[in-house]
């Protein structure tokens, strides 16, 4: 092994491995260092420390021995390449019968320019890869990272969905590690599906990949998100409840939603406008017959604490009379094939695709978005169909986005779209509110995500917890699914169970398709509305807790909603739990996910857990069958927790002046406060320490003039009111 220019070059016979290191991230490649220039990563290689033939990073040792590159921790292997037979298995891939029956063939490919082979130890679980419609452990499955809009009911056999987040977190035999493959080309992740001890990544891209080290999943997530970019800090308001439907139109339908929420005393922060607000699906236009004065409508909503979010799709209608089409044509701003503008079809019919990789197009779209937001008083932009979707068959590989072929930029299309849209908010010093369906690993600094077109199925409710928490550990802490299901007919029991399961989802939106029955919280009966309200209240009361988690996620990448193993990495019972999750450190959600069920098994990790609804206490370290009702689903608080809360809010437009602290036993906590909206807001951090009798609040960061006037401390049935102060001590008798 020799070290040249911060690169360790390991040679063994005809094999070479080159290694660079940045903090806890080890970059491995064998030929040239060729991460795609379009994928922007934060990796500044550091000086390497040799020790004989090894390279040492902290407690880890990198070694290339007998043609196998491995990483050791205390002389135990944490990560190791696979050097056995890794031929890609192609038997039983005859789809002719399926094709005869009219089904789509999978058409799999078995030869790739690059194959990275990694050994899986017997008990390893593999997590990550973003939005797959499956339980949390990916082992035994194969996925193809190629952003895909497939409207049928997703399940665990779907290899590709909307997002390509080429990152897995492995709970290895001797600890955890992450693997990130930065190449944007179509990539196969076969995770022990053909050979149980082999995980391979195959693609026509480069062989450059990253191993992320750390003693805990949290440490690994921190290092991974430092590499791909830390998640954005959302506006406080974005944590509020959002209501959508394809489509609320005309304007009176939007007012009706606002009125019905108010009449039913249901909290609401945003209403989403789907494609029918546009004039013939022309982006950046408004259909004046349906929305004669959008600005007046948004002003009226704003008076009631509600903002509008409008959908914007990438595809531009081919219409030479339409200014957006004509302007971008003049800028040479569209994807082309054989030198001519490439056409396909999306909602507007004959459509063309903006080339976001071209700076002039990008600036044009940013300006258009900024103007649209301002003119119409829009709070957020919903980016859809950006895989990119195409109704006339897939875009051929040789469609060119400037100098880049579609095969190379397909998975980056959504990522570049959201960068361009986010800039429209950034330039006004407002935190971007962009929601996206398609993305790449690097999109999280610019956007929140939702998981696309699920359906009103119990199976999709069940999988929502693993989808959101897996997006979380894949670097996307602000994610959600369509509550109630997008396609298919929702019913009241399903809607109730869905809001119970997702009430603390980082991004919370009820959305449904035009072809389905209504599923707003008031669309069934009073009993359903009452239960829905109860869970929205729970969320709004816990907004300061969720916002603290947003600060933590922005700083460290550690997600809001987490799979159980993430918080309890050494508890083997947590490793494959997909039907209960942690919200931060203190709240465990283990809801009913089956029709007609009124009890379920809940695993309680170490500690003491209190049922939020009936106060019953459970001692951790085992599973219990817990009875639940239609009103009360499974919410459990770790008894040594401090929960910061608000009280009685119906929207988050104005920050309240009272902070409530709910506590029980000795505990410590940090609460953050800022203006909740601007990019450069400074913040306060309050360290709260309760020793069982005395509560101390100390301001450890002070950058913002607090909005708090009152502090209310709730311990069991005792309520103590205090004037807020930056430093205070309160003794509880």
Whether the ω angle into residue 432 lies within 30 degrees of 0, i.e. cis, is: no
Does residue 81 interact with ligand GLC by CB under 6 A? no
Does residue 384 interact with ligand GLC by CB under 6 A? yes
State in angstroms the smallest separation of the CB of 248 from ligand GLC. 11
The residue written with tokens 């029918």 in the block is 276
206 vs 513, beta carbon nearer ligand GLC: 513
Q: What are the CA-CA distances from residue 213 to residues 165, 201, 224, 571, 592 (Å)?
A: 18, 19, 9, 20, 36
Does residue 208 interact with ligand GLC by CB under 6 A? no
Query: β-pairing, 307-312 with 378-383?
Result: parallel
Does residue 222 interact with ligand GLC by CB under 6 A? no
Q: Pick from 137, 274, 307, 541 the residue near ligand GLC by CB under 6 A.
A: 274
The site map against ligand GLC for 418-437 (x = CB under 6 A) is -------------------x
Whether the ω angle into residue 624 lies within 30 degrees of 0, i.e. cis, is: no
368 vs 511, beta carbon nearer ligand GLC: 511
**DSSP symbols for 530-541:** HHHHHHHHHHHH
**Tokens matching residue 475:** 């670097």
**Tokens matching residue 710:** 């009152």
Query: β-pairing, 163-164 with 187-191?
Result: unpaired
224 vs 440, beta carbon nearer ligand GLC: 440
| Eight-state DSSP code of residue 627 | E
Residues known to be catalytic: 384, 387, 453
Q: Which of residues 698-727 bind ligand GLC (CB under 6 A)?
A: none
By beta-carbon distance, which residue lies closest to ligand GLC?
246
State in angstroms the smallest separation of the CB of 658 from ligand GLC. 37
State in angstroms the smallest separation of the CB of 452 from ligand GLC. 5
277 vs 604, beta carbon nearer ligand GLC: 277
Q: What are the CA-CA distances from residue 236 to residues 382, 506, 582 (Å)?
A: 18, 11, 21
Q: Which of residues 223-262 bind ligand GLC (CB under 6 A)?
A: 246
State in angstroms the smallest separation of the CB of 454 from ligand GLC. 9
The residue written with tokens 């988690």 in the block is 549
State in angstroms the smallest separation of the CB of 582 from ligand GLC. 28
219 vs 274, beta carbon nearer ligand GLC: 274
**Tokens matching residue 163:** 């997002």
| Eight-state DSSP code of residue 275 | G
**Tokens matching residue 430:** 């407002």
150 vs 701, beta carbon nearer ligand GLC: 150
26 vs 257, beta carbon nearer ligand GLC: 257
Does residue 487 interact with ligand GLC by CB under 6 A? no
222 vs 384, beta carbon nearer ligand GLC: 384
**Tokens matching residue 199:** 């995980």
Distance from chain centroid for Cα 64: 36
- Pick from 257, 351, 247, 358: which is nearest to 307 by CA? 257
Residue 162 neighbours by CB distance under 10 Å: 26
223 vs 311, beta carbon nearer ligand GLC: 311
Give the total of residues touching ligand GLC (CB under 6 A): 10
| Eight-state DSSP code of residue 235 | P
183 vs 384, beta carbon nearer ligand GLC: 384
The residue written with tokens 């410590």 in the block is 668
Q: What stretch of H or E contains 359?
A: helix 359-376
Does residue 317 interact with ligand GLC by CB under 6 A? no
Whether the ω angle into residue 388 lies within 30 degrees of 0, i.e. cis, is: yes
Residue 241 neighbours by CB distance under 10 Å: 25
State in angstroms the smallest separation of the CB of 290 from ligand GLC. 15
Q: Pick from 55, 126, 275, 449 the residue near ligand GLC by CB under 6 A.
A: 275
Q: What are the CA-CA distances from residue 677 to residues 97, 107, 268, 479, 509 (Å)?
A: 56, 48, 17, 19, 20
State in angstroms the smallest separation of the CB of 373 from ligand GLC. 19
Residue 365 neighbours by CB distance under 10 Å: 26
**Tokens matching residue 526:** 């009073």
Give the separation between CA 120 and CA 138, rounded to whole angstroms. Answer: 12
Does residue 479 interact with ligand GLC by CB under 6 A? no
The site map against ligand GLC for 447-476 (x = CB under 6 A) is -----xx-----------------------
The site map against ligand GLC for 495-514 (x = CB under 6 A) is ----------------x---
Helix (DSSP H) and strand (DSSP E) numbers for the chain: 13, 51
- Pick from 240, 258, 306: which is nearest to 540 by CA? 240
**Tokens matching residue 556:** 């460290």
State in angstroms the smallest separation of the CB of 282 from ligand GLC. 14
Q: Which of residues 12-51 bind ligand GLC (CB under 6 A)?
A: none
**Quick check: 62 and 8 in contact, CB under 8 A?**
yes
Q: What stretch of H or E contains 199?
A: strand 198-203
State in angstroms the smallest separation of the CB of 130 from ligand GLC. 16
State in angstroms the smallest separation of the CB of 453 from ligand GLC. 5
Q: List interacting residues with ligand GLC (CB under 6 A).
A: 246, 274-275, 311, 384, 437, 452-453, 486, 511
């Amino acid at each position: 092994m020799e070290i040249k220019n911060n690169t360790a070059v390991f040679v063994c016979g005809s094999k070479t491995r080159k290694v660079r290191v940045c903090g806890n991230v080890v970059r491995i490649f064998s030929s040239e260092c060729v991460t795609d220039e379009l994928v922007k990563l934060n990796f500044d290689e550091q000086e390497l420390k040799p020790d004989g033939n090894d390279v040492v990073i902290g407690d880890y040792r990198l070694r290339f021995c007998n043609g196998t590159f491995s990483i050791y921790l205390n002389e135990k292997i944490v990560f190791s390449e696979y050097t056995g037979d890794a031929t890609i298995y192609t038997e039983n891939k005859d789809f002719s019968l399926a094709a005869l029956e009219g089904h789509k063939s999978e058409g799999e490919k078995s030869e790739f320019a690059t194959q990275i082979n990694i050994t899986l130890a017997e008990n390893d679980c593999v997590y990550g890869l973003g939005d797959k419609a499956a339980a949390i452990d990916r082992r035994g499955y194969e996925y193809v990272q190629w952003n895909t809009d497939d409207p049928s009911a997703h399940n665990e056999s779907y290899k590709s969905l909307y997002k390509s987040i080429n990152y897995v977190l492995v709970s290895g035999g001797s600890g955890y590690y992450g693997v990130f493959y930065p190449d944007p080309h179509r990539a196969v992740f076969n995770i022990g599906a053909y050979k149980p001890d082999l995980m391979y990544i195959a693609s026509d891209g480069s062989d450059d990949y990253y191993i992320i080290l750390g003693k805990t999943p949290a440490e690994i997530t921190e290092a991974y998100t430092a590499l791909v970019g830390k998640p954005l800090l959302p506006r406080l308001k974005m944590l509020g409840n959002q209501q959508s439907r394809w489509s609320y139109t005309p304007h009176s339908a939007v007012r009706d939603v606002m009125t019905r929420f108010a009449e039913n005393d249901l909290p609401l922060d945003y209403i989403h406008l789907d494609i029918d607000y546009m004039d013939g699906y022309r982006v950046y236009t408004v259909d004046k017959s349906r929305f004669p004065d959008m600005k007046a409508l948004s002003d009226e909503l704003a008076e009631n604490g509600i903002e509008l979010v409008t959908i914007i799709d990438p595809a531009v209608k081919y219409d030479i009379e339409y200014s957006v089409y004509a302007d971008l044509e003049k800028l040479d701003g569209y994807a082309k094939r054989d030198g001519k503008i490439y056409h396909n079809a999306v909602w507007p019919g004959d459509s063309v695709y903006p080339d976001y990789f071209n700076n002039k197009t990008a600036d044009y779209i940013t300006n258009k978005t900024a103007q649209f937001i301002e003119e119409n008083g829009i709070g957020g932009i919903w980016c859809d169909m950006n895989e990119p979707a195409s109704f006339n068959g897939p875009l051929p590989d040789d469609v060119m986005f400037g100098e880049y072929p579609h095969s190379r930029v397909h998975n980056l299309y959504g990522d570049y779209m959201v960068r361009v849209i986010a800039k429209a908010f950034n330039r006004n010093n407002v935190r971007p509110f962009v929601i996206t369906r398609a993305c790449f690993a690097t999109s999280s600094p610019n956007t929140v995500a939702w998981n696309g077109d699920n359906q009103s199925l119990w199976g999709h409710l069940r999988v929502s917890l693993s989808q959101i928490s897996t997006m979380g550990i894949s670097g996307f802490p602000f994610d959600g699914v369509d509550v109630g299901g997008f396609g298919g007919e929702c019913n009241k029991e399903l809607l109730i169970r869905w809001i119970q399961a997702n009430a603390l989802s980082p991004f919370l939106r009820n959305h449904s398709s035009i072809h389905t029955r209504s599923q707003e919280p008031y669309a069934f009966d009073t009993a359903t509305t009452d239960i829905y309200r109860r869970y929205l209240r729970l969320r709004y009361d816990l907004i300061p807790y969720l916002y603290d988690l947003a600060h933590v996620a922005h700083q460290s990448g550690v997600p809001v909603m987490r799979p159980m193993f993430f918080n309890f990495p050494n508890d083997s019972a947590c490793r494959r739990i997909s039907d209960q999750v942690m919200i931060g450190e203190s709240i465990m959600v283990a809801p009913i996910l089956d029709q007609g069920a009124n009890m379920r098994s809940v695993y309680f990790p170490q500690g003491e857990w209190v049922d939020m609804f009936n106060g019953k206490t459970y001692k951790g370290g085992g599973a219990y069958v817990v009875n639940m009702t239609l009103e009360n689903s499974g919410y459990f608080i770790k008894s040594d927790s401090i929960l910061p809360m608000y009280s009685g809010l119906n929207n988050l437009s104005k920050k309240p002046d009272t902070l409530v602290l709910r506590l029980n036993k000795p505990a410590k906590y940090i609460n953050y406060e800022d203006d909740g909206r601007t990019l450069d807001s400074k913040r306060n951090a309050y360290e709260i320490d309760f020793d069982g009798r005395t509560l101390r609040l100390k301001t450890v960061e002070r950058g913002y003039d607090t909005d708090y006037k009152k502090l209310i401390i709730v311990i069991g049935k005792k309520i103590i009111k205090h004037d807020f102060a930056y430093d205070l001590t309160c003794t509880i008798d």
